[in-house]
Structure 1
Amino acid sequence: MSHWERLATQSQIHAESDYQKAGYRLVMEHVLYAGDSRSRTAYELIVRHRKDYDALLAQLGMTITHNPHMGYVVATPSQYVADKMRLSETRLALVLRRLYDDKMHVAEIVGGEAFVDMIELERAYKDLLNRELPASSALNEQLQAMKRYGIARLEDTHDEQRQQVVVRPGIVDVLGETALLQLAAHANAPEEDASDETA
């Protein structure tokens, strides 16, 4: 009998596959939030069986960070995940982290999330990177990548002019101090073909 099978038998609520899926989702999505209906079960299983998941992810060279106050768990590889980010994504991630820190500093955080409108994002991008915010289609593609990393999402709105980027609390752990230094070095790399470069 496998370890997950044994837990499933004890629980009588969750199947063995639920435990497996929870671990898989954490590895693939990097951050799971208790407040998101689609990841709530996985989040609860990982928190409840933390030692088991710690041992499992350690074999993959990853560590789990749990922030009970903000209600999320993060899987961080020892070899930082953003070395797979494109240069353009790296730049956007740095700007989003800075905006999150700024909003945290002035207590403009709601439920752990920072809401940033497009004008604010455009201004910060220009101030911090001395370059223009990418065009709408490229920006949307980059924001989808930020969503995959569990650090931001685009607020659903019918008015494109009033769109907001929601910077999620997991950004603090996904982009910790070491990651920020690596990202900053990468973002300042000489420009070649920014659309295809990876870190």
Structure 2
Amino acid sequence: MKRSWATLSQLSGGMYVPQDFERTAYRLVTEQVLYAADRRSRNAYHLVETYLADFTAALEPLGIRLERNAHYRYVVALPSHGEGLPVTLEETLLVLVLRQRYDHAMREGQVEEHGEVLVELPELQEAWQHMTGRPMPDTGSLRTLLRTLRRWSLCREVDSEPDDPQPFRILVRPAIVEIAGPQWLQRLDQHNMDEDGEAETSTPRAIEDEDDVPA
């Protein structure tokens, strides 16, 4: 049974007011992931961690389920239904390539402290061409794509040193495992139907290998 935000505020001994719970629930819906490692979302993560069952019950009627990764300390809100998120072909391909690089780094034990994986641009370019059979977008277009993926809490840019020929690196965030799973990929196919009823996206070649299929 869902307890009201006012009840939870009283149980917290005044540490939280009802608006704290409301704002955090809204952030789960709009931001999708709250990371304890991020200064901006740390307090919200701790609130959800403490009252996980209550937030789960509050979002369930919206068709949203919560999953908490206790090891890397983040909570992700996953919609049960795939409608409503238009995704372009290049966004689709970038998500697939970054998920493949994340899985590869996990197998090799090349994971940062908070479960993040650093991807170099030459590595990304090689994987992109191998998996998609097409050239990687130029730097400006890639930055635009990454801004979208950052809003989905999948990755973020890391500035390079002044003497580094790479303008930046990509830090892939651990929630990509939950967000870019098989159900999400199926939604991409649904959102990328052209006027003839054929999907704009195609399965990259490397995804056909069993070792590269997202878990």
TM-score range, shorter chain: 0.7 to 0.9
Match for residue 73 of structure 1? 75
Distance 2:20 2:200 in 1: 45
Match for residue 89 of structure 1? 91
Secondary structure of the residue aligned to 1:63 is strand
User: Is 1:169 the counterpart of 2:170 in the alignment?
Assistant: no
Distance 1:81 1:3 in 2: 29
Match for residue 134 of structure 2? 131
Q: Which moved more, 1:180-189 or 1:93-102?
A: 180-189
Q: Which moved more, 1:65-74 or 1:8-17?
A: 8-17
Task: Give the Å deviation of 1:179.
Answer: 2.3
Task: Give the Å deviation of 1:167.
Answer: 0.4
Match for residue 196 of structure 1? none
Residues 1-199 of structure 1: pairs in structure 2 closer than 5 A: 3-11=4-12, 12-80=14-82, 83-111=85-113, 112-157=115-160, 159=162, 161-183=166-188, 189-190=199-200
What amino acid is aligned across from residue 91 of structure 1 in structure 2? L
Task: Give the Å deviation of 1:184.
Answer: 6.9
Distance 1:132 1:184 in 2: 21
Structure 2 regions of 5+ residues with no counterpart? 202-215
- Report which of the two structures shows the higher radius of gyration computed on alpha carbons: 2
What amino acid is aligned across from residue 59 of structure 2 in structure 1? L
Question: Which one has the bigger helix percentage?
Answer: 1
Q: Which moved more, 1:163-172 or 1:132-141?
A: 132-141
CA deviations on 1:47-95 (whole Å, 9 max, x unpaired) are: 1111111111111111101110111111110123784222211110011
Secondary structure of the residue aligned to 2:112 is coil
Is 1:94–1:183's contact at 8 Å kept on the other side of the alignment? no
Task: Give the Å deviation of 1:180.
Answer: 3.5
- TM-score, normalised relative to structure 2: 0.81
Is 1:94–1:184's contact at 8 Å kept on the other side of the alignment? no
Secondary structure of the residue aligned to 2:118 is strand
Secondary structure of the residue aligned to 1:164 is strand
Structure possessing the higher relative contact order (Cα contacts under 8 Å, 6 or more residues apart) = 1
Count of matched residue positions in the alignment of Structure 1 and Structure 2: 190
Task: Give the Å deviation of 1:183.
Answer: 4.1
Task: Give the Å deviation of 1:168.
Answer: 0.5
Is 2:83–2:187's contact at 8 Å kept on the other side of the alignment? no
Is 1:82–1:90's contact at 8 Å kept on the other side of the alignment? no
Distance 2:187 2:31 in 1: 21
Match for residue 209 of structure 2? none
Over the matched positions of the two proteins, sequence identity in percent amounts to 35
Secondary structure of the residue aligned to 1:41 is helix
Match for residue 205 of structure 2? none
Is 2:160–2:166's contact at 8 Å kept on the other side of the alignment? no
Secondary structure of the residue aligned to 1:70 is coil
